[in-house]
Structure 1
């Protein structure tokens, strides 16, 4: 790490961040990280009974730390950015595979919680300008879209039915992503099997719906027929579509839909930035499903600390 941080381009390649941003983010997390409890799986052994219930519990001794906290944080970003397997990462950082796995899982749980607290449903400061493509939509609160990532095919036929995506023609894990008109990622849902519809995921994201206020607007794509699910007074901004009751849309509706589409295209840019973390480009192993939601949330919220993909003077 001491060698890599001397080269700005190399440091950005391995972490996705400039050194100054890395140091600032680590400083923000350091207090929590210094007191976090490392993941160890099963951590108890039973000894001779000594209490009224007839059971005694003794903690196993912990594993001594081999990297300082700053190096651990670097190693986690390194794996997220490169997507390297645990065994390769453990060799590069001079740890056993089990020790690197413990460090990684512990930090991912910390990052997913702390970054979510920092970014979820946040309203950027007043001096944060909106991109010009979003300015026609006053009081726009969030732009919503779903994204899918490949997973292993479950051996269970029933679970395979739930995870199979007709869109991807593969087993997938699905997330709802919310983006503020400034470009910041402000909402990530829990994970869903690939068969889940956009409407269902939005309906079950009650924490997002509860955060909306009358007068605000939500921008979505045609697949999100969620107008009746929004809180009272919240307006849906959605491209017009013919449906089954009419043959064509009006010229005015077509013009409005083009304006919406020009704005929504930037959501795809955000999705690409999230998926630029190479760990998300790999097929999800079913053995990792318990931690995958935390990995995705961490990658998504870390986009807020990278170079912006959307600027206030964007046309």
Structure 2
């Protein structure tokens, strides 16, 4: 196990290969060796804590920290960051959490106590408590988002062709009687990842920022009927449409409406569906009158998908930059937001 056998904190000699030499502090009931957290931000904090007692410390993915350095005597949801005995000097002067309650009997005179730096200790404790609070808040949020997805995902329904046609608004009846859904892709800003490979996958040339993007399909009356998994901002509309499960939902003779950027006509032909998009211009040539009419007709009805996405972006979490720590549940966040949108009044 190499470098992972010994506690990485400077001055701590606890080593899994020599359990008979363990030094176990009074607040620890079962000495364990804790691996680095998966959360990249927490990892960085761990490395900074270790470097406090090791001048030439080089961060490694294989370091471990023993239970002595956690206030709960082990790594817990409340206590995810090592804060105790982080420098060699701490081992002779710092008390375990249980002993701090009896400082009056610790042998420290009032004069020695006066020489302490309470302001500095308070700042350190405040920073540690802030990290602990953020981690706890993140854990609570992630737990609830996953639970809400399980409970609310049933609100996103792919209706049958008959149901769609029975509820087809008047503005679609004449020109698009076979329309099954309107689709579009939308992007959400995310915090810039530290990994260069991940940055490259998430970089959006359109937004000039790191984003995640996903496909949304709405019924002609404005209900969200399908939402794809999230992809890095680099993914194209065509790639997302083919990679997700959307095409498998279509039936022969269905019509799908999209923006001009969706080059999926041939892909829809594989499932015998058709595509309705605004006519494209050739070079600088002016569109003919019929093309202008087609563009106007599609624009008038495609407004519903823009309004549906606008509703989606009203949720503050999707309106602002999503933190890196929440990326593992970004699909859940999007699905919950779409499901809540379907509880609102129909757009059309």
- TM-score if structure 2 supplies the norm length? 0.57
1:216 alignment partner in structure 2: 254
Q: 1:306 to 1:212 in 2, by over 3 A?
A: same
How far 1:219 sits from its partner (Å)? 0.3
The worse-fitting range, judged by mean Cα deviation, of 189-198 and 113-122 is: 113-122
- 8 A Cα contact 1:164 1:171, kept in partner: yes
Match in the other structure for 1:21: none
Task: Report the Cα offset of residue 114 of structure 1.
Answer: 4.1
Is 1:183 aligned with 2:232? no
Q: Is contact 2:260-2:280 (8 Å) kept?
A: yes
Contact 1:121/1:208 (<8 A) preserved: no
Aligned residues: 218
The whole-number CA distance in structure 2 between the counterparts of 1:97 and 1:166 is 32
Match of 1:119 in 2: 156
Q: Deviations over 1:25-83 (max 9, x none)?
A: xxxxxxxxxxxxxxxx9xxxxxxxxxxxxxxxxxxx999xxxxxxxxxxxxxxxxxxxx
| Aligned mates of 2:327, 2:220 — CA distance in 1 | 31
Which runs of 5 or more structure 2 residues have no equivalent in the other structure? 1-37, 39-75, 79-132
Match runs of 1:235-314 below 5 Å: 235-243=274-282, 247-308=285-346, 310-311=347-348
> Within 2, Cα distance between the matches of 1:284 and 1:257?
35
Q: Please report how far the alpha carbon of residue 199 of structure 1 lies from its aligned counterpart in structure 2 after TM superposition.
A: 0.6
Are 2:243 and 1:204 aligned?
A: yes
Q: Displacement, 1:164?
A: 1.2
CA distance in 2, matches of 1:141, 1:127: 8
SS in 2 for 1:305: coil
Give the CA deviation at 1:120: 3.5
Q: Does residue 1:164 correspond to 2:203, yes or no?
A: yes
Measure the CA separation in 2 of the matches of 1:287 and 1:126. Answer: 39
SS at match of 1:175: strand
1:106 Cα deviation after fit: 3.0
Alpha-carbon RMSD: 2.8
> 1:259 and 1:130 mapped to 2: Cα distance?
16
Report the CA distance between 1:166 and its aligned residue: 1.2
Quote the residue 2:234 is aligned against: 195
CA shift, 1:283, in A, is 0.8
Cα distance change, pair 241–300 in 1 and its aligned pair in 2 (3 A): same
Distance verdict in 2 for CA 1:303–1:199, change over 3 Å: same
Structure 1 Cα separation of the partners of residues 314 and 289 of structure 2: 38
Distance 1:214 1:167, change over 3 A: same
Task: Give the deviation of 1:152 after TM superposition.
Answer: 1.1
Q: Deviations over 1:104-154 (max 9, x none)?
A: 433322332443334242348479633333332112111000111111112
Q: Does 1:147 align with 2:186?
A: yes
Equivalent residues of 1:142, 1:180 under 8 A apart:
yes
- 1:234 and 2:273 correspond: yes
Note the alpha carbon deviations across 1:258-280, whole angstroms, 9 max, x for none. Answer: 10011111211111111111121
For 1:112 and 1:295, the matched residues in 2 are separated by 8
1:60-71 aligned within 5 A: none
- What runs of 5+ residues in structure 1 fail to find an aligned partner? 1-40, 42-60, 64-95
Asked if the contact 1:128–1:182 (Cα under 8 Å) also holds between the matched residues in 2, the reply is no
